[in-house]
Amino acid sequence: MTLLIKICGLSTPESIDTAIEAGADLIAFNFHPRSPRYVELDRAAALAAHARGRVETVALVVNAGDDALSAIRSAVEPDSWQFHGQETPERVRDVRAVWGLPVMKAIGVSGPADLAALASFAPVADRLLLDAKPPKDAAYPGGHGQPFDWRVLSALPPHRPFMLSGGLTPENVGEAIRLVRGFGVNLLGVDVSSGVESAPGIKDPDRIRAFVAAAREAEGAR
């Protein structure tokens, strides 16, 4: 299976075009107000329309209520959700049933014990995203540019697919892919946000292209 590449936190038509032309498979719009990548609903709707039919669009939310999800679903029409908060397996199950869209669930990882959560989410989430845990005083979830120790992933069962996030960059994504796949686990894809930025929330076209190229090169080296 071809490695999936996801570029998260896009906020301009130009960055969308760059990601698509570079060969990304998924792009995400961030609806968490505290994030520097936050996009308001009207803007996200226009961006999603610009991308529609060319790439899979993902709506990233953090502990969003039904009203917020309904508004996003109606205005943006994303292809899937990304839950990046403290959502429970029951919440993931219910959202899939009500809105009929696939759900990607992000799970923060700092050590082997954090991998236990995968067993609860695997039956209800369409994709699992393993991300670095944020600093304790962080205003929003995610790796904040710092990777976790990828060696903990060697404990994963080979039948459980997952995507990798947290501190990935054009400089280290190839190393991450080669190392993790060397464990014999099922790496479905990679995800990046701050690692392709020139400043918080500002995507760098050259870094987007370099990230996708490095990931594809590592994928082909198997």
CA-based R_g, the chain, Å: 16
Residue 167 to residues 1, 53, 77, 91, Cα–Cα distance (Å): 24, 29, 29, 27
Nearest to 131 by CA among 119, 116, 115, 120: 115
Helix or strand (DSSP H, E) at 58: strand 56-61
**Bridge partners of residue 197, in order along the sequence:** 203
Q: How many CA atoms lie within 13 A of 126 on its CB side?
A: 15
Distance between CA atoms of residues 20 and 45, nearest Å: 18
Q: Is 21 helix (H, G, I), strand (E, B) or coil?
A: helix
Identified catalytic residue from 17, 42, 67, 131: 131
Identified catalytic residue from 8, 126, 137, 191: 8
Active site residue 131: yes
Distance between CA atoms of residues 12 and 156, nearest Å: 37
Active site residue 66: no
> Which residues are catalytically annotated?
8, 131
